[in-house]
Structure 1
Amino acid sequence: MNTLEELFPSKPTFSGTWQTLYLEPIVGSGERISVAVVAIGKNNQYRILQAIRSELLECLYGAQSRNMQSLIDWLIESASKEIKANRSLSEWTAPFDGIKVGKLYPAAGDDIEGILKQAIRFTASLSTLALDADRDDHDFQPKRYSEQWATSIFDEIKTINPHLSNCFKKRLKISESNVLTTFGFLKDTYVSNFGLLVPTRLSTSLSNVKAKLFDLEALKKSPSLVKPLKYEIIIGTPSLSDPTLTDKSAKNLRETIDMVTEVAASESIDLFRAENAREAAMHIIEIAA
């Protein structure tokens, strides 16, 4: 009997509910997209997660993507306050029109992230399909994402420690040519470049990361008499346990991080992985301040 029982998965230990928040971009049109999922579990646990990735928002809405992101952030903040106060969205009024709260579903899983993954899987096709879709290798979007990542880090440091602001985007001559190479951050004995691994565009974002590594390697091997002692690549990625990542995309991301880490280590370049710009900024300040 024990052998037979081992053939079946164990019973989930975490129970709760989930529901989806839908946004009608054009109020009254009837068109709705899943923008957030809500999971509420035992022991007063709850979590609200954006169900549509920011890079997909940019593809869908272009110049208006920031406005859409602001609306989603506002929505999630309002829903979070309601759940914290009343443990439910049953009496909640959305902060703006065009929002529909989906049906409440009971669920079970290993933890609250497991319940969120169920909500994503069943109601947010734009999230999962975007991650697993095949793309043209000549997609240059990741370069812009990487630039936005660097700008976000700069904005965080400018707020926390403005004295380091002038250390960003330093340009150096690292070869006999007159071409100047730009580095993300440079101060005294420390230099770092910023890269971003975008799950929906992993191949092309990896190429951009490799280019940032090459610039660090070139500086390290340059004939310059005054060079940093510490070289680092700061990589932005989502959490590997992010419920919006499918098992396939999480595996691909993990393998890519491992590969970049190995390549960087072969040239004695450190790698720091950050899940948001503030985390990256605090790391830089700890080293350079």
Structure 2
Amino acid sequence: MFNNDKFPPAPNFYAEWKSIYFEPIPNSGEKITILIVIKTNDKKINVFDALHPTVIDSLYGSKSSSFQGLIKLIKSNILKNDGYSNIDGVSGSVWHSALSENLNGIIRQALYKSASLGSAALKSLFDDEDAGIENEQVDKRWSKRIKTAVLDLDSSYENSFDLKIPVGRDIRIACGFHTSRYTAKFNVCTSQTIIRMKSNLVDLQILDTNNISSRYDLILQMPTDEDLQVTPKVLARMKENVEMLKREISSKSNINIFTCNNEIEGAGRIFEMLKAS
């Protein structure tokens, strides 16, 4: 009745996983899944982040860097203690057995089955057609992170961020970064940001037409290919959107789309363009 050739082979990668919880308020009972621990057949322990940086920004705002530092400390502690943590406020689930095609499949399975806040937030951010307000807040936090990274290296650019540039009599265009030599706007790329990215590129074209600066960038934060919290399908859609936008502005030599994975790379681009201008 059934043709076996039409069925995919059964997954043969076996591993165990467990969630690591953090209790923000001691004894409150409220817990956040912050890490996923994987134990493979050879008993090797691997630890992966369960919270995307954009989610941490949303939760902790100006204190997000401190919380990320705490997560790194917890991760190191777990690796030193064979998959267990002895830090107050940190606990773990029981071990769960799982099968998948590879390690990445096990991790994604663990992320969603642990009902982590990171997974829920990312689903809203990347899949919800009405996520405009959330995306706008994500862009603002991305802009703030780049600003901090730049000022850590050169505080003289303090007054170059978050400016509204007058164009004509009654028009002001908001820019993440601006000098007479170089201007940039910032976006976090998700599957739902295409309209906002197009709008920012139009703003840069208006600035270019009015000779406001010499060079212009739209600096996009993109997930990496190894980002386990963004599915390959969503990442492919995001890359397709970016490539489409690059083709649209290919004839505009003064405007570029620069993709990066973190604020350090974004800050590096700003300094690179300032030197080149």
User: How many aligned residue pairs are there?
Assistant: 269
The alpha-carbon deviation at position 193 of structure 1 amounts to 1.5
8 Å Cα contact 1:240-1:254 kept in structure 2: no
Match for 2:140 among 147, 155, 161? Answer: 147
| Secondary structure at the counterpart of residue 175 of structure 2 | strand
Residue 17 of structure 2 corresponds to residue 18 of structure 1 = yes
- What aligned pairs does 1:258-269 form with structure 2 within 5 A after superposition? 258-265=243-250, 267-268=252-253, 269=255
Moved more, 159-168 or 68-77: 68-77
Question: 1:243, CA displacement in angstroms?
Answer: 1.1
Measured in 1, the distance between the counterparts of 2:164 and 2:80 equals: 51
Whole-angstrom CA distance in 2 between matches of 1:227 and 1:119: 48
Alpha carbons of structure 1 residues 22 and 270: separation in structure 2 relative to 1, 3 Å = same
Answer whether contact 1:216 1:231 (CA < 8 A) is retained: yes
Query: In structure 1, the residue corresponding to 2:35 is in which secondary structure?
Result: strand
CA deviation digits over 1:149-187, x for unaligned, max 9?
Answer: 11211110111233444443454333x324332332334
Q: Which amino acid aligns with 1:48?
A: F
Q: Deviations over 1:253-273 (max 9, x none)?
A: 333333333333354431111
CA contact (8 A) 1:171 1:180 kept: yes
Q: Give SS of 2:223's match.
A: coil
Partner of residue 241, structure 1: 226
> Residues of 2 paired with 1:22 and 1:67: CA distance?
22
CA gap of 1:207–1:81, structure 2 versus 1, over 3 A, is same
Q: 2:184 aligns with which of 192, 213, 235?
A: 192
- TM-score, normalised via structure 1 length: 0.74
Q: Which residue of 2 aligns with 1:213?
A: 201
CA separation of 1:283 and 1:55: change in aligned 2, threshold 3 A: same
Partner of 1:173: 166
SS of structure 1 residue aligned to 2:220: strand
* RMSD between superposed Cα atoms in Å: 3.6
Distance 1:66 1:185 in 2: 21
State the 1:218 CA deviation.
Answer: 0.6
SS of equivalent residue, structure 2 residue 217: strand
Match for residue 120 of structure 1 among 103, 111, 126: 111
Residues 108 and 278 from structure 1, CA distance in 2 versus in 1: closer, same or farther, beyond 3 angstroms?
Answer: farther
Deviations 1:182-216 (Å, cap 9, x if unpaired)? 3323345433221122x4xx43x433322221111
1:48-99 per-residue CA deviation (whole Å, 9 max, x = no partner) reads: 21346644873xx6xxx3488568535522332224434x133x312x32x3
Match of 2:257 in 1: 271
Match of 2:73 among 78, 81, 84: 78
Task: For 2:61 and 2:159, locate their aligned partners in 1 and report how far apart those are by CA, in whole Å.
Answer: 27
Q: Which moved more, 1:26-35 or 1:277-286?
A: 26-35
Runs of 5+ unmatched residues, structure 2: none
- Paired residues of 1:54 and 1:69 also in contact (CA < 8 A): no
| Counterparts of 1:220 and 1:71, CA distance in 2 | 39
Q: How far is 1:231 from its partner?
A: 2.3
Give SS of 2:200's match.
Answer: helix
Q: What letter is aligned with 2:115?
A: A
Is 1:232 the equivalent of 2:217?
yes
Say which SS state the counterpart of residue 36 (structure 2) adopts.
Answer: strand
Q: Please list, as runs of the form range in 1=range in 2, the aligned pairs for 1:25-104 lying within 5 A after superposition.
A: 25=24, 27-28=26-27, 30-40=29-39, 46-51=46-51, 54-55=54-55, 58=58, 65-66=60-61, 69=64, 73-86=68-81, 88-90=82-84, 92-94=85-87, 96-97=88-89, 99-104=90-95
Q: Percent identity?
A: 22
